[in-house]
């Protein structure tokens, strides 16, 4: 592990891995234990975590096995930053929908109408523009934007750093 932390890219990788893993586990906890049903936009925001966590784990394994050089590690950390940034942008968009700053997709907002046909009443409907809970003033989408922005910043900083420490 010391070897991994000897570079800024390695340190960024560990921070991104730990943060994204904790975030997706937390989201599952709120869903499974807390009973908070995710809306379609919430589920889409999770894609970046489903890509980032295994990619970060693979990069960590490559570093620990000595099968990756620093320039390739920096590229990998940069890719992680881009993946997480995409999820964060979607989280910011979703938070804006919840705050009423702009309209959301008609398929999952309260103003959607019946343009897509009759709804499926056999499934619970979770609207993208209705906040289920706010924690310190932010919804889950808002927190996703914050966490993703942090991880993207860390990733880009690690990817662009040429110094070992």
Q: What is the rounded average pLDDT for all residues in the chain?
A: 84
Predicted local distance difference test score (pLDDT) of residue 141: 85
Average pLDDT over residues 118-133: 67
121 or 24: whose pLDDT is higher? 24
What are the C-alpha distances in Å from 71 to residues 63, 75, 78?
12, 6, 11
Predicted local distance difference test score (pLDDT) of residue 121: 57
Helix, strand and coil percent figures for the chain, each rounded to 5: 65, 0, 35
Task: Decide if pLDDT at 4 tops 80.
Answer: no
Return the HEC string of 70-134.
HHHHHHHHHHHHHHHHHHHHHHHHHHHHHHCCCCCCCCCCCCCCCCCCCCCCCCCCCCCCCCCCC
110 or 53: whose pLDDT is higher? 53
- pLDDT bucket at 120, cuts 50 / 70 / 90: low
112 or 101: whose pLDDT is higher? 101
Share of the chain above pLDDT 90, in %: 41
Predicted local distance difference test score (pLDDT) of residue 2: 61
Sign of CA dihedral 79, 84, 89, 90: positive
DSSP summary character for residue 2: T
50-105 confidence digits (pLDDT tens): 999 999 999 999 988 888 888 899 999 999 999 999 999 999 998 888 888 887 77
Q: How far apart are CA 73 and CA 63, in angstroms?
A: 8
What angle do helix axes 70-99 and 140-160 make, rounded to 10 degrees? 160
Q: How far apart are CA 71 and CA 64, in angstroms?
A: 15
């Amino acid at each position: 592990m010391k070897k991994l932390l000897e570079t800024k890219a390695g340190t960024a990788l560990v921070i991104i891995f730990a943060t994204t893993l904790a975030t997706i586990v937390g989201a599952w906890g709120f869903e499974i234990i807390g009973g908070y049903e995710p809306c379609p936009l919430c589920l889409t925001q999770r894609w970046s975590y489903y890509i980032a966590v295994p990619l970060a784990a693979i990069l960590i394994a490559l570093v620990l096995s000595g099968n990756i050089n620093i320039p390739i590690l920096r590229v990998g950390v940069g890719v992680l930053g881009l993946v997480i940034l995409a999820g964060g942008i979607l989280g910011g968009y979703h938070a804006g929908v919840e705050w009423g700053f702009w309209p959301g997709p008609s398929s999952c907002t309260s103003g959607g109408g019946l343009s897509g046909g009759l709804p499926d009443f056999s499934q619970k409907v979770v609207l993208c523009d209705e906040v289920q809970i706010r924690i310190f003033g932010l919804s889950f989408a808002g927190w996703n934007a914050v966490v993703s922005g942090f991880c993207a910043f860390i990733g880009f900083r690690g990817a662009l750093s040429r110094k070992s420490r």
